[in-house]
């Protein structure tokens, strides 16, 4: 990776601030914010040209985060579980763009599993980050498809809105 | 009996997958080549092979191309349906029957020709499997003789279709000849005759879906994403074929377009939105069930203001319905597709020329208004062959709408994606990849302000919704206006759209003969232009002709013009068969009797 210059600018002359976005509205301490921070740092260090990046997401707390980084880039916050089709269309229309997708475990593995698989099958080149917290954060803690069978949610995560005690409702349990 | 020249309808009953298409196309083209207006309608089952299928060829000197309710000539090849087919024929009709098909008791006044089709085709095609495909050409020969279709024109027409397959051409030619010779020896000419005229010079024959595909190509489409569904598939497939042929880089031979067969219609519309947002002219094609699946994304596109072109080739619903029959019953669902307050722009092609023109126009409107445009065609226009004037090369450059490039951004202090700078409700957009620090913005289906920032502010939400409504108002002066024929002294108006047009044209002539003069408005788009209001105002009462049960267009008109609602009289046709003139006439006359009585 190109080293960061000492004057706080990267190889294309931008500062970290140029890669930031709007202020996060997530719960204080939410893990998604940590990932946002890492994306900002990585984009800065890699010297990405913001105008060449397209940020894509679905619906969920995780999918809100593209608003919190790279505000100079175009972003597309789609409908729930369908970001892969948007990404496919964007890729086909302008192959010079770098695509950065952010999704949640619900967005990817529950409602969006179909589109996710077809995205993989078509080999669309994008960085696809699944911010996997095992639950639906935005709708307050229901389990997603990535939760382990029989998992019981532990108490509330720090100041978050989810974490109610609930059993995963896989078929085994509803039979 | 005196012969009826150039005014009759021939109904051919065969089996799906039996090669009847070549036979029917051969006859249609031959008649067109004789200078006589002709049209063809396919009535087929939702099945690939083995079920009954019917094809109707209407010959009309006066150029009427709607379905005729009664047929004059029947060719009954299919033993499964022959009893029913024969029973449906009226007095004076001609029945050309495959020898051995079951028949009901046939009244004296029908002329019956029994033809040993199998015996005639046997010596030509020894292979029994192939024989099934060629036998239909024997009826072309018989019909040509009986109806006076020039055999040389039949041969020209056949060569035009099969010229590149000499073996098939020879076999089919021999079959036509066998039929014609048999007929010449054994049969009297029918009282329905085709006579040469000079009324079709320069005319082309084309299906609406093909015309739409051509239009889309000239309209600059570079991306198509679709999921197969009858009756829209032939649009996507024609478009793909045209693009593969005509849209390649001349130097490298590489495609300058992309076509993706999506995994479903949700993905199809999603890809279209992704591509349009990035600046491509992108479209999808679908029909009822697919339209339903696109609901969430089209509401998104309306609210987040992303262009899209959606061709809905309407078929009979709800649910799977009658998938190979025609209807105009997606008007209301398309007009408001989505949850929340949503109003979409609809284009309503009535002819293959419209399909071609709207193929282009839809993109101009989608980009100008940054919103989904629905083009509501139907199975009748889309999948049947229609006679048409040749299409013209586009005269105007495309309208790419309000897009700011880096140079434009260099001249402004701020860029706000959803600010109504021009007072027409239409904001400016930028495309991803624009090299300017102001260019980026965040597209979202959640509440947003003029700067595209998230907000749940009550005032802002209402302000944005009002602007979207204003944008819809602006669209009134951009959509194709209706075609209006005001007849002096006519109290009665007819308002129609889409494939009902041709039945209305014919119905008006029939009504005039019976002493009822009518004015006519052919609607081409929603939202309505002011001409629609003035038309209704100027008429005492307006018959709204549409092919659905619930008077969907009349309902839209009522919502728009509550003060004029009492003038509207729905004329509804919804059995899946294309609407015919007699049905329109009957319903209007019935209603007119009541009008006169209650005056
Ligand atoms: C079609 C549809 N169904 C349901 C919802 C409600 N919804 C919003 S976010 C969400 C779950 C998100 O979970 P996940 O993707 O894991 O994201 P997280 O919030 O945990 O980051 C659901 C079900 C919706 N927005 N759209
Ligand atoms: S609800 Fe959960 S996922 Fe959402 S912001 Fe709060 S902690 Fe994060």
Contact at CB, A118 and B445, closer than 8 angstroms: no
Classify residue B490 by its DSSP letter.
Answer: -
Q: Which of B272, B439, B445 sits opposite A79 (nearest CB)?
A: B445
Same domain for B117 and B179?
A: yes
Same domain for B432 and B544?
A: no
Q: What does the block give as tokens for B217?
A: 């190509």
Residues B33-64: tens digit of each pLDDT: 999 999 999 988 777 667 889 999 999 999 99
**How far, in Å, CA of A130 to CA of A123, rounded?**
17
Here the CATH number for the domain that contains residue B254 is: 3.40.50.970
Which region, left, alpha or beta, applies to residue B546 given φ > 0 means left and ψ of -120 to 50 means alpha? beta
- Atom 22, ligand 1: which residue's CA is nearest? A139
Contacts of B278 in chain A (CB under 8 A): 54, 89-90, 93-94, 97
Ligand 1 centre and the CA of A112: distance in Å? 10
Contact at CB, A51 and B278, closer than 8 angstroms: no
Low-confidence ranges of chain B (pLDDT < 50): none
Same domain for B10 and B70?
A: yes
Backbone phi, then psi, for B284, in 5-degree steps?
-135, 160
- Atom 26, ligand 1: which residue's CA is nearest? A80
How close B279 comes to chain A (CA, Å)? Answer: 7
Same domain for B475 and B493?
A: no
Q: Which of A56, A89, A94 sits opposite B433 (nearest CB)?
A: A94
Helix (H/G/I), strand (E/B), else coil: B486: coil
Say if ligand 2 is within 6 A of residue A144 CB: no
Contact between B157 and B33 (Cβ < 8 Å): yes
Ligand nearest, relative to CA of residue A143 = 1
Contact between A51 and A73 (Cβ < 8 Å): yes
**How far, in Å, CA of B533 to CA of B560, rounded?**
9
Tell me chain B's radius of gyration from C-alpha atoms. 27
Q: Give residue B344's domain range.
A: 206-388
Ligand 1 atom, smallest distance to A132 CA = 16
Helix (H/G/I), strand (E/B), else coil: B471: helix
Final residue of a structural domain among B160, B182, B201: B201
Contacts of B261 in chain A (CB under 8 A): none
Q: Is residue B300 part of a domain?
A: yes
**Domains of chain A, residue spans:** 148-175
- Atom 2, ligand 1: which residue's CA is nearest? A80
Predicted confidence (pLDDT) at residue A3 exceeds the cutoff of 60 = no
Say if ligand 1 is within 6 A of residue A129 CB: no
This prediction has a pTM of: 0.95
Contact at CB, B274 and A89, closer than 8 angstroms: yes
Q: Which of B266, B441, B444 sits opposite A82 (nearest CB)?
A: B266
Q: Is residue B532 part of a domain?
A: yes
Say if ligand 2 is within 6 A of residue A133 CB: yes
Contact at CB, A88 and B270, closer than 8 angstroms: yes
Contact between A15 and A47 (Cβ < 8 Å): no
Q: Is residue B397 part of a domain?
A: no
B410 touches chain A (CB under 8 A): no
Domain count, chain B: 4
Final residue of a structural domain among B185, B201, B217: B201
Q: Which of B222, B270, B432 sits opposite A74 (nearest CB)?
A: B432
Same domain for B426 and B515?
A: no
Q: Give the pLDDT of residue A6.
A: 65
Same domain for B259 and B345?
A: yes
Ligand 2 centre and the CA of B245: distance in Å? 52
How close B225 comes to chain A (CA, Å)? Answer: 9
**How far, in Å, CA of B385 to CA of B314, rounded?**
17
Q: Of B202, B173, B480, which Cα lies nearest the Cα of B350?
A: B480
Q: Which of B264, B266, B434 sits opposite A51 (nearest CB)?
A: B434
**How far, in Å, CA of B413 to CA of B57, rounded?**
65
Classify residue A5 by its DSSP letter.
Answer: P
Say if ligand 2 is within 6 A of residue A141 CB: no
Ligand 2 atom, smallest distance to A161 CA = 1
Contact between B304 and B338 (Cβ < 8 Å): no
Same domain for B512 and B467?
A: no
Q: Is residue B588 part of a domain?
A: yes
Same domain for B592 and B557?
A: yes
Same domain for B230 and B373?
A: yes
* Mean pLDDT to the nearest integer, A75-102: 98
Q: Which of A25, A50, A91 sits opposite B440 (nearest CB)?
A: A50
ipTM: 0.95
* Mean pLDDT to the nearest integer, A66-83: 98
* Mean pLDDT to the nearest integer, A93-101: 98
Same domain for B375 and B264?
A: yes
Ligand 2 centre and the CA of A100: distance in Å? 21
Q: Of B24, B143, B159, B46, which Cα lies nearest the Cα of B95?
A: B143
Say if ligand 2 is within 6 A of residue A36 CB: no
Q: Give the pLDDT of residue A2.
A: 52
Could you give the angle at which helices B208-218 and B352-369 cross, rounded to 10 degrees? 40
Final residue of a structural domain among B364, B388, B412: B388
Residue to mutate among B222, B254, B264, B270, with most A CBs inside 10 A, is B270
Q: Which of B264, B276, B440 sits opposite A73 (nearest CB)?
A: B440
Here the CATH number for the domain that contains residue B104 is: 3.40.920.10
Same domain for B192 and B238?
A: no
Half-sphere exposure of B337 (CA within 13 A, CB side): 29
Say if ligand 1 is within 6 A of residue A131 CB: yes
Ligand nearest, relative to CA of residue A82 = 1
Q: Is residue B395 part of a domain?
A: no
Mutate to test the pocket of ligand 1, among A138, A140, A142, A147 (most ligand atoms within 8 A of CB): A138
Same domain for B232 and B300?
A: yes
Contacts of A14 in chain B (CB under 8 A): none
Contacts of B262 in chain A (CB under 8 A): 85, 118
Ligand 1 centre and the CA of B446: distance in Å? 13
| B326: Cβ contacts below 8 Å, ≥ 6 apart | B231, B314, B315, B316, B378, B379, B380, B499, B547, B576, B577, B578
Contact at CB, A78 and B223, closer than 8 angstroms: no
Backbone phi, then psi, for A101, in 5-degree steps?
-105, 135
**How far, in Å, CA of B487 to CA of B7, rounded?**
27
Q: Is residue B247 part of a domain?
A: yes
Residues A98-140: tens digit of each pLDDT: 999 999 999 999 999 999 999 999 999 999 999 999 999 999 9
Residue to mutate among A92, A101, A102, A107, with most B CBs inside 10 A, is A92
- Kindly report whether the peptide bond that precedes residue B231 is cis, defined as omega within 30 degrees of 0: yes
- Atom 8, ligand 2: which residue's CA is nearest? A30
Ligand 2 centre and the CA of B590: distance in Å? 66
End-to-end CA distance of chain B: 44
Contact at CB, A89 and B282, closer than 8 angstroms: yes
Say if ligand 1 is within 6 A of residue A169 CB: no
Contacts of A87 in chain B (CB under 8 A): 274
Angle at B281 between CA B280 and CA B282, to 5 degrees: 95
């Amino acid at each position: 990776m190109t080293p960061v210059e000492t004057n706080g600018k990267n190889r294309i002359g931008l500062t970290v601030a140029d890669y930031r976005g709007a202020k996060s509205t997530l719960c204080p301490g939410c893990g998604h914010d940590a990932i946002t921070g890492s994306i900002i740092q990585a984009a800065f260090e890699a010297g990405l040209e913001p105008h060449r990046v397209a940020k894509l997401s679905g619906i969920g707390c995780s999918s809100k985060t593209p608003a919190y980084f790279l505000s100079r880039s175009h972003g597309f916050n789609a409908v729930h579980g369908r970001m892969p089709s948007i990404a496919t269309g964007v890729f086909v229309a302008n192959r010079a763009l770098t695509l950065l997708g952010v999704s949640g475990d619900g967005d990817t593995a529950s409602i969006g599993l179909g589109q996710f698989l077809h995205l993989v099958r078509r080999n669309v080149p994008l960085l696809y980050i699944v911010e996997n917290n095992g639950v639906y954060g935005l709708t307050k803690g229901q389990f997603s498809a990535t939760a382990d069978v029989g998992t019981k949610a532990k108490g509330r995560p720090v100041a978050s809105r989810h974490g109610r005690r609930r059993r995963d409702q896989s078929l085994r349990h509803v039979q | 009996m005196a012969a009826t020249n150039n005014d009759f309808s021939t109904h051919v009953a065969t089996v799906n997958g039996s090669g009847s298409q070549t036979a029917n196309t051969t006859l249609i083209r031959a008649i067109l080549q004789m200078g006589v207006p002709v049209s063809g309608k396919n009535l087929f089952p939702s099945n690939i092979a083995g079920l009954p299928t019917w094809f109707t060829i209407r010959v009309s000197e006066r150029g009427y191309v709607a379905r005729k309710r009664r047929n004059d000539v029947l060719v009954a090849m299919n033993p499964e349906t022959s009893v029913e087919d024969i029973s449906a024929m009226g007095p004076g009709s001609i029945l050309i029957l495959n020898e051995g098909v079951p028949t009901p008791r046939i009244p004296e006044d029908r002329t019956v020709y029994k033809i040993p089709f199998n015996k005639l085709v046997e010596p030509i095609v020894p292979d029994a499997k192939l024989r099934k495909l060629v036998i239909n050409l024997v009826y072309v020969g018989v019909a040509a003789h009986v109806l006076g279709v020039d055999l040389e024109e039949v041969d020209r027409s056949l060569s035009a279709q099969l010229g590149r397959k000499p073996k098939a051409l020879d076999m089919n030619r021999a079959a036509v000849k066998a039929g014609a010779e048999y007929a010449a020896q054994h049969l009297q000419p029918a009282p329905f005759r085709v006579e040469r005229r000079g009324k079709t010079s320069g005319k082309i024959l084309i299906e609406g879906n093909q015309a739409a595909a051509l239009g889309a190509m000239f309209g600059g489409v570079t991306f198509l994403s679709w999921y197969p569904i009858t009756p829209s598939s032939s649009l996507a497939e024609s478009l793909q074929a045209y693009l593969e042929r005509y849209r390649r880089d001349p130097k490298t031979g590489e495609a300058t377009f992309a076509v993706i067969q999506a995994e479903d219609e949700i993905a199809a519309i999603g890809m279209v939105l992704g591509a349009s947002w990035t600046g491509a002219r992108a479209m999808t094609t679908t029909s009822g069930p697919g339209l339903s699946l696109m609901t969430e994304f089209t509401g998104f596109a309306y609210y987040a203001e992303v262009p899209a072109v959606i061709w809905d080739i309407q078929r009979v619903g709800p649910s799977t319905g009658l998938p190979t029959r025609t209807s105009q019953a997606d008007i209301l669902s398309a007009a408001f597709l989505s949850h929340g307050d949503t109003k979409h722009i609809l284009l309503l092609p009535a002819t293959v020329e419209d399909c071609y023109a709207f193929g282009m126009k839809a993109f101009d409107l989608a980009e100008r208004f940054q919103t989904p445009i629905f083009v509501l065609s139907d199975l009748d226009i889309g999948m049947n062959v229609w006679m048409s004037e040749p299409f013209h090369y586009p005269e105007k450059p495309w309208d790419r709408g309000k897009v700011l490039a880096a140079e434009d951004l260099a001249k402004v202090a701020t860029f706000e994606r959803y600010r109504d700078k021009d007072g027409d409700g239409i904001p400016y957009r930028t495309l991803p990849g624009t090299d300017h620090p102001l260019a980026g913005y965040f597209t979202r289906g959640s509440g947003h302000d003029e700067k595209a920032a998230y907000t749940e502010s009550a005032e802002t939400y209402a302000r944005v919704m009002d602007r979207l409504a204003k944008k819809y108002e602006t669209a009134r002066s951009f959509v194709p206006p209706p075609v209006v024929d005001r007849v002096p002294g006519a109290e009665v108006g007819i308002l129609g759209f889409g494939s009902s047009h041709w039945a209305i044209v014919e119905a008006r002539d029939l009504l005039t003969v019976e002493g009822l003069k009518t004015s006519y408005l052919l609607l081409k788009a929603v939202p309505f232009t002011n001409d629609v209001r003035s038309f209704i105002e100027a008429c005492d009462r307006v018959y709204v002709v549409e092919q659905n049960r619930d008077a969907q267009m009349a309902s839209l008109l009522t919502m728009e013009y509550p003060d004029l609602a009492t003038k509207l009289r729905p004329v509804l046709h919804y059995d899946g068969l294309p609407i015919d003139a007699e049905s329109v006439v009957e319903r209007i006359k019935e209603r007119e009797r009541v009008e006169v009585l209650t005056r």
